[in-house]
Amino acid sequence: MTLEQLRIFIAVAEREHVTNAARDLNLTQSATSAAIAALEARYATKLFDRVGRRIVLTDAGRLFLPEAKAVLARASAAEEVLADLADMARGSLKIAASQTVANYWLPPLLQQYRSRFPGIRLQVEIGNTEGVQQSVCDHSADLGFVEGEIEDGSLVITPVADDELVLVVPRNHAWARKAPKSPDEFRASPWVLREPGSGTRSILEAELKRMGVTSEELEIVLELPSNEAVRAAVEAGAGATLISRIVVEGSLKAGRLALVDAAMPRRRFLALSHRERHPTRALTAFMNLVRNQDA
């Protein structure tokens, strides 16, 4: 078994298509098929079944996939340790970040880092808080940034910034004139929320629970996968939402949204790294930049 075979297996498994995997890996279809066939023959185990024009993982393939990813992650970490000796002349840094962080807070830091260390290749993956946490835990990301609170003994968790959360509504919403006071008022409004697993949604649900309102009692009219989609839906009149002020600052100034006069909890942006992973110079340099951003 070679690392190249593992790389090909993972690509085919993720795309469920040999041709697409071959194209993305810059390989021929025959070379890609041969690598999979060699793995299956070497261990007398079928890894894929053909279903129509797609191929899907067998039970054995599903069990093998996380192990293959873990081996590649460890090989990548070993390579980074050696590259680290080149005094930041080359290397890579894989960052996973939740949406508010990735779209609004992180880009200036990425640009500063790129200017200082042009030899380091930056890769950024965007997901929700749960997905970012998982990426750092399974070593597919060197560093993660999320909103809200995380509890995980395998991770080093470092607060790096504060974020103001605000309750916003369409301009014609009743709360634009008078803020809600009772639990029944919170139950009565339609809501536009991010998907389960989002840090912002978790904070809203915890705050409403403190007031005696469960998430099951909310009239959730839309669940959307991005902050921008939530903002646009609220501007269009769909309902209320809790969202980071940096996402809606422009809309508030332009009068497209109304700010509700209700105290909402602040939250922290957190950096996540794995306790068992070697902190490369590339990672350490990025964290130093984050810590000194207001200096």
In angstroms, the first-to-last Cα distance of the chain is 50
Q: How far is it, in rounded angstroms, from Cα 193 to Cα 227?
A: 9
Q: Does residue 201 sit in the same domain as residue 233?
A: yes
Over the stretch 2-40, which tens digit does the pLDDT of each residue have? Answer: 888 888 889 888 888 888 888 888 888 888 889 889 888
Q: Count other C-beta atoms under 10 Å from residue 162's C-beta.
A: 9
Phi, psi of 111 (to 5 degrees): -65, -45
Is 256 a residue whose pLDDT tops 70? yes
Q: What is the residue whose two structure tokens read 């399974």?
A: 138
- Shared domain for 65 and 150, answered yes or no, is no
* Closest residue by Cα to residue 80 from 246, 221, 256, 279: 279
* Domains held by the chain: number: 3
CA distance 127 to 279: 23
CATH number of the domain where residue 186 is located:
3.40.190.10
Domain extent, residue 278, equals: 86-163+268-291
Q: Give the tens place of pLDDT for each residue, 141-191.
A: 999 999 878 889 899 999 999 999 999 999 999 999 999 999 999 999 999
99 and 214 in a single domain? The answer is no
Question: For residue range 180-233, what is the model confidence (pLDDT) as tens digits?
Answer: 999 999 999 999 999 988 888 989 999 999 999 998 999 999 999 999 999 999
Distance (Å, whole) CA 251 – CA 246? 10
Kindly report the CATH number assigned to the domain that includes residue 31.
1.10.10.10
- Window from 74-78, 105-109, 116-120 with minimum mean pLDDT: 74-78
How far is Cα 204 from Cα 188, in angstroms, rounded to an integer? 16
Checking DSSP bridges between strand 91-98 and strand 120-127, what pairing results, if any? parallel
